[in-house]
Amino acid sequence: MNNLLNIGVLASGNGSNLQAIIDRIENGELTAKIACVISNNAGAFALERARRYGIPALHLDHRLFPGRAGYDAALLEALREYEVELVALAGFMRIITPVLIDAYPHAIMNIHPALLPAFPGLHAQKQALDYGVKISGCTVHFVDPGTDTGPVIIQSAVPVLEGDTEETLSARIQVEEHRVYPKAIGLFAKGCLKVEGRTVIISPPPVLTTAALINPPA
Ligand code: GAR
Q: Give the model confidence (pLDDT) of 165-175 as tens digits.
A: 999 999 999 99
Query: Which distant-in-sequence residues (6+ apart) come within 8 Å of 206 by Cβ?
Result: none
3-class state of residue 74 by DSSP:
helix
> Residue 64: what are its φ and ψ, rounded to 5°?
-85, 0
The pLDDT tens digits for 116-130 are: 999 999 999 999 999
Confidence at residue 1, expressed as pLDDT on a 0 to 100 scale: 45
For residues 118 and 115, give the distance between their C-alpha atoms in angstroms, rounded to a whole number: 6
Is-above-0.95 flag for pTM?
yes
Same fold, 1-104 and 110-200: yes
Catalytic residue check, 112? yes
Q: Where do the structural domains in the chain lie, given as residue ranges? A: 1-104, 110-200
Query: What is the distance in A from the centroid of ligand 1 to the CA of 11?
Result: 9
Minimal-distance CA residue to ligand 1 atom 7: 91
Confidence at residue 82, expressed as pLDDT on a 0 to 100 scale: 98
The pLDDT tens digits for 70-107 are: 999 999 999 999 999 999 999 999 999 999 999 999 99
- The residue annotated as part of the active site, out of 59, 62, 106, 112, is 112
Domain 110-200 belongs in CATH node 3.40.50.170: yes
Residue of 13, 76, 70, 75 whose CA lies nearest to 47: 13
Q: Would you say residue 2 has pLDDT above 70?
A: no
Cβ–ligand 1 distance for 16 under 6 Å, the answer yes
Cβ–ligand 1 distance for 35 under 6 Å, the answer no
CATH superfamily of 1-104: Formyl transferase, N-terminal domain (3.40.50.170)
